[in-house]
Chains A and B, each alone.
Chain A
Amino acid sequence: MTGTLYLLVMLPIAVGLFLYVFNRFLSRTVAVGIQMILLFLSVYYVFITQTAILELPLLNVPLPYGMLLEVDDLSAVMLFLNNLLFLTFTIFSYHKNYMNRLFLFLFLSLQGLINALFISTDFFNVYILIEVATITVSVLIMFKKDRQSMYDGMLYLTVNMIGMAFFLFGVGLLYKSFGVLDFKHITSGIQNLSNPKALNLAFSFLLTGIGLKAAILPLFSWLPKAHGTASAPSIVSAVLSGIFVKVGVYMLIRLQVMFAPIIDMQAVLLVLGFTTAIAGFIFAISQEDIKLILAYHTISQIGLILIGLGGTASLNYQGGVYHILSHGIFKSLFFILAGVLSERFKTRKITKMKGLWQISKPLSCILLIAVFSITGAPFFSGGYSKYFISYGYASIFFKAMFILVNLGTMISFIKFLHIIFTKTDVQTSKLSLRKNEWFALGILASACIMLGLGGNILSVWLLHEPMNLSPFGQLIKLPSYVFNYALAFTLYTFWLKKSSLLHRIRRVELTFNSINIAIVTFFFITFTFLNYVL
């Protein structure tokens, strides 16, 4: 069955190309069909990696000079998330106008490329795949070709290419030291290294490149432009925030494991995580554009994931990986809803959207589920993973920081509650969605609840490690959640709403040159830190 790994990469790309050339054949139905096959395959991989690691050599040459595709626990989870999201997105936009053959080709290729990224075990392959995926994404960002999209697409492409240049330089330095490119031999080479400072330069280059992809603190300025762009269909934004930014996080995990013997990244990840989380929600609170709120909030959630990965207990790490899953699902749900809402209200300003409860009750319920998930309510996916991310921190400082991050998240989503509960005087018609759209929204919303309520079962199934927080244990968290939300609400209404601070923060936006200066500064600070502080 290892041969099916070829399908994971080649099937979407080949089918996309086929549909592009032969336009007539029921292209959307075929697309949904292959998504189902891929989802089935990735469920199978999750199941099989419980006992074994799947490996598929690509050449007849043995490993240090050959190539290998590999599925282990982590990649199986990421593959599952990726294919689940792409299936729901294809179902959601089944009848949309933008689903023409060019879009389908790019969209399916992106799926194949992301799948390939999660199973490749070779630095240069990762470089090439990320480059190609970046070009694909930048075309998708500019898909509707309106006035703003050119700048967004161009900025995205150039900044990411510069980041990948840093990455490739790091790969070159690694190759100079070890003469190999695949993860396994580099890992064993690092374990046998005599001088722990020898790889500092390589590591700083790699961290800059990967950090830019994962949007950690000083390197995230490109993300809101790309993820919150007006010109991309909402499912493209959902792909970017739901799974594509996780490619960076995934590579960060791989780097962390690889360099663990010589560079201890735990503390660094923790600091970066907290600062990224706080910076993300500060920007998110100040925005009024519905997509930009979500885009900035992705940064904040990436920070939370990093906190989980940098934690000392092994449960923290699992919480981080679990949060990758749950964030992927609820953020995609949010972006799809944002697309529906901005289409309905003919605006992207969140303050002008009102009276969703009057317009559509089921949609309000789904939006509520999404808000509860992201703010970490008990019984929902976000609450489950956040509990494990913050598990085992005893000191007051950390507890205060976690409460601060939580409050920030809650405040940034108060505006979404306003959409539901503010009443409009204008008599409006009901909102009607197609059946396939309801179905896709239903899948994502029920996944949010299942990941929360059934977390104990799903964590064993997906991560192969038990995590223990029963529904009753979650119920006990309810009072503190309600109290926090009340506090957030008070803070927002009586202080933040009136202060001019938000207005000033909204204006802060780095120019292209400043983004590059941030990249270079981050690189030099990392290098200095590794050489002189650690």
Chain B
Amino acid sequence: MLIDQIKTIINGENVSIALFFIGMYGLCARRNILKTIISMSILQASLVLYFLSLSFHPLNVPPIGADLNAYAYVADPVPQALMITAVVVGISVTAVSLTMFVSMFHKYGTTNWNKVKKKRGEIE
């Protein structure tokens, strides 16, 4: 009984919302820049999961082939197309921030946001 209820609660949308706020927790509570970048990837992953599960139905089939009218339940292709783009954007953002992080680490020698902020210093 209870397990059934729990099973209905655990669906893609709810999990993705939980994941989103886990990512936000990482951003709010961790000072390590690398963990910040990881948390941003978690945000991206939760978004992808959300978009893919928002029109999910167990009987969905992919809309491929000549005779689309034969299918009763067809998966919505738009979120999937959007998410391919979003994944690409997410990867490039991660790549850019990792590159920045590497050169920042060479310059300041620390991975801590607050120490970096202190070392950045005031105007000359």
Binding site for B on A (CB under 8 A): 65, 124, 127-128, 131-132, 135, 138, 142, 147-148, 150-154, 157-158, 161-162, 165, 168-169, 172, 175-176, 179, 181, 230, 288-289, 292, 347-349, 509, 511-513, 516-517, 519-520
Q: Which residue of B lies closest to A510 (CB)?
A: B117
Contacts from B to A (Cβ < 8 Å):
20, 23-24, 27-31, 33, 36-37, 40, 43-44, 47, 50-51, 54-55, 76, 78-79, 82, 85-86, 89, 92-93, 96-97, 100-101, 103-104, 107-108, 113-114, 116-117, 120-121, 123-124
Q: What DSSP secondary structure best describes chain B's contact surface? A: helix
A181 to B107, CA, bound (A): 43
Interface of A is mostly: helix
B24 to chain A, nearest CB (A): 6
Q: Please tell me if the beta carbons of A157 and B20 are within 8 angstroms of each other in the complex.
A: no
| A165-B101 contact in complex given A151-B116, A175-B54, C-beta closer than 8 Å | no
Neighbouring B residues of A168 by C-beta, 8 Å: 47, 86
Least CB distance, A205 to chain B, in whole angstroms: 10
Q: B78 to chain A: which residues have CB within 8 Å?
A: 65, 175, 181
- Most chain B beta-carbon neighbours within 10 Å: one of A152, A230, A516: A516
**When the two chains form their complex, are residues B50 and A135 in contact, meaning their CB atoms are under 8 A apart?**
no
9 A-B pairs whose Cβ atoms sit less than 8 Å apart in the complex: A65-B78, A128-B85, A148-B121, A172-B51, A230-B123, A288-B123, A348-B123, A509-B117, A511-B114
Which of B31, B33, B123 meets A154, CB within 8 Å?
A: B33
Report whether A516 and B123 are in contact in the complex, using a CB–CB cutoff of 8 Å: no
User: B28 touching A520 by the CB < 8 A rule?
Assistant: yes
From residue B105, how far is it (CB to closest CB) to chain A in Å? Answer: 9
Partner of A161, one of B20, B29, B40: B40
| Chain B residues within 8 Å of A161, by CB | 40, 93, 97
Q: Are A151 and B36 in contact (CB under 8 A)?
A: no
Residue from B20, B97, B101 having most chain A Cβ neighbours under 10 A? B97
How far does the Cβ of A161 sit from chain B's closest Cβ, in whole Å? 5
Determine which of A152, A157, A292, A513 lies in contact with B27 in the assembled complex, contact meaning CB atoms within 8 Å.
A513
Residue of A nearest to B29 (CB): A513
Provide the residues of chain B in CB contact with A138, threshold 8 Å.
96, 100
Most chain A CB neighbours (cut-off 10 Å) among B85, B108, B117, B121: B117
Set of chain A residues within 8 Å of B82, measured between Cβ atoms? 124
Contact A169:B40 (CB < 8 A) given known A148-B120, A520-B28 = no
**Which residue in B96, B104, B114 is a CB contact (below 8 Å) of A150?**
B104
